[in-house]
């Protein structure tokens, strides 16, 4: 009887802890995904404006590709970092 109680308490504890751990990851996952979507839209817009920032576009595109890989491996902080760096290159390309 005592071992069943311990098992039940252990399972409930594991479920609660796994629920808490997933919540933070979900926020980072959403931030990564929305950042990627926004950055790709900004890159498309920047590219439609001309050839002035082609070097910056290349750097941004490489960072966004790397961010997508990080997203697939659930390395969301790395994804977010790469998206932010890519968006800086995109802004730089728009400034000429």
Q: Each residue of 8-50: pLDDT tens digit?
A: 454 445 444 444 455 579 999 999 999 999 999 999 999 998 7
Evaluate whether 82 touches 63 at the Cβ level (below 8 Å). yes
Residues near 83 by Cβ (< 8 Å), separated by ≥ 6? 32, 35, 36, 39, 63, 64, 67
SS (H, E, C) 8-54: HHHHHHHHHHHHHHHHHHHHHHHHHHHHHHHHHHHHHHHHHCCCCCH
- Domain limits of the chain? 25-95
pLDDT digits (tens, 9 = 90+) for 42-88: 999 999 987 778 899 999 999 999 999 999 999 999 999 999 999 99
**2 vs 67, which has greater pLDDT?**
67
Q: Has residue 90 got a pLDDT over 80? A: yes
**CA-to-CA distance for 5 and 15, rounded, in angstroms?**
15
- Whole-structure pTM value: 0.74
């Amino acid at each position: 009887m005592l071992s069943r109680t311990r098992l039940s308490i252990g399972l409930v504890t594991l479920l609660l802890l796994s629920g808490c751990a997933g919540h933070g990851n979900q926020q980072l996952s959403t931030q990564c995904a929305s950042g990627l979507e926004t950055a790709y839209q900004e890159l498309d817009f920047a590219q439609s404006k001309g050839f002035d920032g082609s070097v910056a576009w290349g750097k941004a595109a490489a960072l966004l590709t790397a961010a997508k890989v990080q997203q697939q491996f659930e390395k969301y902080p790395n994804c977010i970092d790469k998206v932010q760096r890519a968006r800086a290159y995109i802004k730089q390309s728009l400034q000429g």
